Amino acid sequence: MIRVTEEYVAVQEVINSLSREVHGAVVTFLGTVRLWTGDRKVLYLDYEAYPQMAEEQLRLIVNEGKLRPEVEDIAIYHRIGRLTIGDVSLIVAVASKHRREGFEACLAVVERIKEIVPIWKKEVWGQGEVWVRSEGV
């Protein structure tokens, strides 16, 4: 699965999308919307994407990740639109032969998503709003 969508997708559905080859480990990561950023109490987040390019970049990341030894499959779901506290914004699931490679690949995928996928997050709190990490440009 590689999906960028406003729809809710459950983590089990992401896991179920992984290939059915024999694997020993499935590592999942959930990125969640947290209440506090520093001393700002977050009301909600607005996620925006360049949809076609975001999915293509996720596909690149999946292909990169599957080159890692022992990694068998990777699924990524990124939610966009308005998210509130406790919502899941990102799910990454990695199927691998052994656990160490799975954990390492999962972390690498999450880091890579933050680097190259055209998805932006606006954080809104009581006194204002900011496009996270964009304001300095």
Partner 1 sequence: MKVTGRFFALYRERIGKSVMEIDIEDSSNVEDLVNLVVNTYPSLSSDASKIVVAVNRVYAEHDCVLSDGDEVAFIPPVSGGCL
Q: Which chain residues interact with partner 1 by CB under 8 A?
A: 31-32, 37, 47-50, 52-54, 56, 78, 89-90, 110-111, 113-122, 131-137
- Our CB check for partner 1 shows the closer of 49 and 71 to be 49
Shortest distance (Å) from residue 21 CB to partner 1 = 27
Shortest distance (Å) from residue 66 CB to partner 1 = 19
Shortest distance (Å) from residue 89 CB to partner 1 = 6
> E-strand spans in 20-115?
25-32, 36-37, 40-49, 71-79, 81-83, 88-96
- Our CB check for partner 1 shows the closer of 23 and 78 to be 78
Shortest distance (Å) from residue 97 CB to partner 1 = 25
- Our CB check for partner 1 shows the closer of 23 and 109 to be 109
Report the 3 state secondary structure along 97-128: CCHHHHHHHHHHHHHHHHHHCCEEEEEEECCE
